[in-house]
Structure 1
Amino acid sequence: MSTKLYQEPDQYGYYGEFGGAFIPEMLFRNVEQLKSEYLKIMYDQDFQQEFQQLLKDYVGRPTPLYLAKRLSERYGFNVYLKREDLCHTGAHKINNTIGQILLARRLGKTKIIAETGAGQHGVATATVCALMGMECDVYMGEVDIARQAPNVARMNMLGAKVIPATSGSKTLKDATNEAIRAWINEPLETHYIIGSVVGPHPYPDMVARFQSIISEETRKQLFEQTGNSLPDLVMACVGGGSNAAGMFYHFLEEPTVKIVAVEAAGHGVNSGLSAATTQLGAPGILHGSKSLVMQTSDGQVIEPHSISAGLDYPGIGPLHAHLFQSKRGTFLAATDEEALKAAFELTKLEGIIPALESAHAIAALAQLDAKVKDLQKGATIVICLSGRGDKDLNTYMNALKSY
């Protein structure tokens, strides 16, 4: 039994009451194999050496921790940006796909499948499959294929097969459904690289550990720059929540560090077009684990909405559900309009064009005074800038006249 309250799940994969593995019988062997092997493989010396070398020489880590001076002046805090947008492929997703493909290879798998919303995880998966010479199928909602065309083109160029999900809202939830069905059909030779801290145990823990490099580096870099490894507050956007899990990980057991997660409010939390799961959800099972899920009174999933494809998900990772329920984390929400405004603000103040997902976290700076207790002006805040905005340029150009 772990003595850590938040960082690690129990032996059954639960963070508090959330987590577990709710899977079809056909996947039992795969998931059990992963569960029994993942920690042993991940912390093997040869694995770690190869993983760390690739993070350094291929991904480009460590990513900078940048003091955004003009943004800081605007809000009265010392705002640092953890620049995951500068990773190879343009987002934090590559940290996890590098780790998982090395794991899959050691498990003897020959084919990779993945789901993607914004396309960043799909690109990162296609990238590592090209690097390792492995077959790759990426499931992506038809709506997301249309709004994230540059990333679809990148996946195709990398040799991946992009398979459209045409059911439901034709977004991330539906792509995940299709990927799980495909995994059921080819369970023995296939490894499913889940891109977020969702899915059956051990995926939420495994993905969080691979992404924890974000907060590991942040502690060292902050100490180098300020003489203190602990900020007053860390903040990240949350859909499923992988960049947030990575940003929070090495601060979760530090009670002096405030944790703030920012969900997508869409047209407004109560508009009927939202993805603010902690505000609208209830405990339920989605994609193999128990968490908070947007659902009707009889358990049918409610379609989410966000302008950002990566946050357009009706659930949240079990770690984040636990952070919300236990009140260890403060969960805020930013609307589509607020995210667009924040994206243009960051671009004009700092010369950094963020992904729409990351823009939700930037947008929440305006809410901190009112929503976070005991946060002083001049406090040190670290925001995970999870991805760059190239993929969202069409959306930004359509909105340009308004900002």
Structure 2
Amino acid sequence: MNYNVDERGYYGDFGGAFIPEMLYPNVAELKENYLKITAEPEFKKEFDALLKSYVGRPTPLYFAKRLSEKYNTKIYLKREDLCHTGAHKVNNTIGQILLAKRLGKNRIIAETGAGQHGVATATVCALMGIECIVYMGALDIKRQAPNVARMKMLGAEVRPAMSGSRTLKDATNEAIRDWINNPVDTHYIIGSVVGPHPYPDMVARFQSVISEEIKTQLLELEGRDYPDHVIACVGGGSNAAGLYYHYLNDERVNIIAVEAAGKGIDTGESAATSVLGKEGIIHGSKTLLMQTPDGQITEPYSISAGLDYPGVGPMHAHLFRTKRAEFVSVPDQEAMDWGLTLSQMEGIIPAIETAHAFAALDVRKFKPNEVVVFNCSGRGDKDLETYIDYFKL
């Protein structure tokens, strides 16, 4: 079985492009050009140069000595939290801004939940001198104030989404409406492996630098270029897609995806799509989606602003359906506790999204000689207020 996208834009049963007629020219233009443009030597040269000199790649693959001793296995952290802007998101925004320039676009829109993608988009727009508008749920604006301030400092306009749960789903809805109204001059930088084809594949390709580097780094550290397990948190799933990408079809590597269970899977306040979702269409893609029996999207919940999405990227839906990946659901309390544990055991304060991934160590046993790689996808600066309130620091 092949776990990459096919020529129709599908991962098995999931994917495709279910879009309004008004958006068809935009999506068709991207689909016809993204592989051709990103394969050009000049594009690759500029992309690689910016990743190195601006983003700070390659990011380290760090052996977590104290964690490894406690859990009696070899634990490595891929330090995406050390990227410029504080998370993996910038890998994708660098790629998409270069693509947008080559397509002649002079206005950029984006959606954001935790704010990291918004900051990364505002950053590359400032770098390139291009107008930037970021849609963000009103609730997320309140709980991610530092990132909102960063976006504004970088020159972006932050527009609140006031509908629905006022979180990531609603911000995405607003961004799509904007794109429909401004189809000619605007490029929509989607921040995760969601949306209509070619976005899930395009974002995964830009994020695949993560697993590409791991192959080289593990060869040096362990004498082989593959780990036994790769583990990442999954909301829409871009950091996970980047971690898994070069190992999707390597059956020696076990893939573990960690979702946000919120206040509990059965509480009605959760974002555990693999458990609660069924096939549906959201934001132009067929995937697994939390919905009512009559097909209305249910509101997700997580203490983490980046994981409360009611669906999951089609790549991840396919990995779940085919059992290529193990899916684990982690409630708020365990994730928050792991934020504190990682801070105090390794001196790394993780984003709350990232903290979810480490809870896999409490539910899954690993052998002493196994190599386990976690994607440390973002740093916790943006979540300090939530940590302060939760732990009464």
TM-score normalised by length of structure 1: 0.97
**Deviation at 1:379?**
1.4
SS in structure 2 opposite 1:311?
Answer: coil
SS in structure 1 opposite 2:245?
Answer: helix
When structure 1 is superposed on structure 2, of 52-61 and 68-77 the one drifting more is 68-77
**Deviation at 1:74?**
1.6
- Check whether the contact 1:113–1:179 (CA below 8 A) recurs between aligned residues: yes
Aligned residue runs from structure 1 range 262-281, under 5 A? 262-281=258-277
**Deviation at 1:400?**
2.3
Aligned-partner Cα distance in 2 for 1:205–1:138: 22
1:45 maps to 41
Aligned residue runs from structure 1 range 197-208, under 5 A? 197-208=193-204
Q: Give the counterpart letter for 1:393 in structure 2.
A: L
- Check whether the contact 1:338–1:363 (CA below 8 A) recurs between aligned residues: yes
List alignment gaps of at least 5 residues for structure 1: 370-374
Aligned residue runs from structure 1 range 233-248, under 5 A? 233-248=229-244
**2:384 is equivalent to residue 385 of structure 1:** no
Q: Give the counterpart letter for 2:373 in structure 1.
A: V
Q: Give the counterpart letter for 1:382 in structure 2.
A: V
Q: Give the counterpart letter for 2:382 in structure 1.
A: K
SS in structure 2 opposite 1:66?
Answer: strand
Decide which of 345, 360, 365 is 1:364's aligned counterpart: 360
**2:319 is equivalent to residue 328 of structure 1:** no
Q: Give the counterpart letter for 1:386 in structure 2.
A: S
Aligned residue runs from structure 1 range 5-20, under 5 A? 5-6=2-3, 8-20=4-16
Aligned residue runs from structure 1 range 286-301, under 5 A? 286-301=282-297
Decide which of 100, 104, 127 is 2:100's aligned counterpart: 104
Decide which of 130, 145, 150 is 1:134's aligned counterpart: 130
SS in structure 2 opposite 1:218?
Answer: helix
**Deviation at 1:47?**
0.1
**Deviation at 1:87?**
0.1
**2:364 is equivalent to residue 399 of structure 1:** no
Q: Give the counterpart letter for 2:160 in structure 1.
A: P
Aligned residue runs from structure 1 range 3-402, under 5 A? 5-6=2-3, 8-369=4-365, 375-401=366-392
**Deviation at 1:75?**
1.4
SS in structure 2 opposite 1:256?
Answer: coil
Give a deviation string over 1:70-125, Cα, whole Å, max 9, x none.
01112121110000000000000000000000000000001000000000000000
Aligned-partner Cα distance in 1 for 2:26–2:390: 45
Q: Give the counterpart letter for 1:87 in structure 2.
A: C
Q: Give the counterpart letter for 1:238 in structure 2.
A: V
**Deviation at 1:377?**
3.4
SS in structure 2 opposite 1:295?
Answer: coil
Aligned-partner Cα distance in 2 for 1:376–1:76: 7
Aligned-partner Cα distance in 2 for 1:107–1:203: 15
Aligned-partner Cα distance in 2 for 1:85–1:9: 28
- Check whether the contact 2:303–2:332 (CA below 8 A) recurs between aligned residues: yes
Aligned-partner Cα distance in 2 for 1:400–1:336: 13
SS in structure 2 opposite 1:94?
Answer: helix
Aligned-partner Cα distance in 2 for 1:396–1:72: 25
Q: Give the counterpart letter for 1:231 in structure 2.
A: P
- Check whether the contact 1:282–1:293 (CA below 8 A) recurs between aligned residues: yes
Q: Give the counterpart letter for 1:268 in structure 2.
A: G
SS in structure 1 opposite 2:171?
Answer: helix
Give a deviation string over 1:194-225, Cα, whole Å, max 9, x none.
00000000000000000000000011101111
Give a deviation string over 1:331-371, Cα, whole Å, max 9, x none.
001110000000100000000000000000011111112xx
- Check whether the contact 1:75–1:366 (CA below 8 A) recurs between aligned residues: no
- Check whether the contact 1:264–1:335 (CA below 8 A) recurs between aligned residues: yes
Q: Give the counterpart letter for 1:363 in structure 2.
A: A
Give a deviation string over 1:369-393, Cα, whole Å, max 9, x none.
2xxxxx5233110000000000000
Number of residue pairs matched by the alignment: 393
Aligned-partner Cα distance in 1 for 2:166–2:389: 22
- Check whether the contact 1:343–1:353 (CA below 8 A) recurs between aligned residues: yes
CA RMSD between the two structures: 0.9
**Deviation at 1:401?**
4.3
1:372 maps to none
SS in structure 2 opposite 1:331?
Answer: strand
Percent identity (aligned)? 68
